[in-house]
Structure 1
Amino acid sequence: MLDPSPPVRITAQAVGLDAAVDTVGTAGDSTVALPDEGDRAGWYSASVTPGQRGNTLLVGHVDTTRGPAAFCTLGALRKGDHITVHRRDKSIARFTVTALNVYERDNFPSTSVYAPTAHPLLTLITCADWDPGNRTYTANLVVTAQPEPQQVSQSARDRPT
């Protein structure tokens, strides 16, 4: 397990994901707020930090009116792909994708997606299924990832000499 340290960047080389991470809270409708900038991911501050025991929640836009956003390639991830989360303390938490699920927005299983876990888990959420007639997304993509066995990379200052 890792000590608490907020995420500052998320990468997934397999799909070209590389985004800075902002801290987000709850929106006015009691859902997890999205980051203000489309090119950034958001860490839900009521969740644990990456690598701690529990469910780390990161959210992001799939697109904006200006084009693709931070999580535009999330749907291209596959089971077994690697996700790296860089933390403020310079440590790195590494995860492997274990599931990708699309849930209708009207039937989103909030209780299970946001649920705390007894082990470290990374949950990424973005929009899915654009409805051009109503000009809105009708579903959410949820990617879950488990920590890799050797998930932590110490910063150079912490390595034994």
Structure 2
Amino acid sequence: MDYIDYKILKLLQEDSRMTIIQLSKELHLSRPSIKERLRRLQESGVIEGFTTRISPEAIGKGVQAIIQIGSLKCKCRNFEDKIRNEKDILECHRVTGTDSYFMKTAVASMHQLEALVDKLIPYGQVTTSIIFSSSVSHRPLLPDIEEEKLVSE
């Protein structure tokens, strides 16, 4: 991983639709060189895929919340199997501490959030926090590289 790979990762996380031609111009490298670097980043598992960010509000899912569940009443594997099939759960993280899982959801209404929480109650102690706003969202995830290499930016 070098400075050019770092820049490719940064640019693609800012705009995953950026073409190889655009990357080539931005980084002053040939298209074959960019293609090879992208291939290596994908094969090594650094780039897991390409996606599109969707505005929850724009598609009618403006109620977002963090749901925590602790004191699990079943095996973790059983709970995870249940959550995988729950379309309103956007993220589910098994964590340390008093709660076993943190989940993020986006639903259309408080009524839908209540129905989701009702589905989860049989599995353990549920705590729900409504998301008012997100001051940090979709920050690019970049590797730590030596500061001297960033100076040329």
Q: Which has the higher contact order (CA 8 A, sep 6+)?
A: 2
Higher strand share: 1
TM-score, with structure 1 as normaliser:
0.24
Higher helix share: 2
- Higher Rg of the two aligned structures: 2
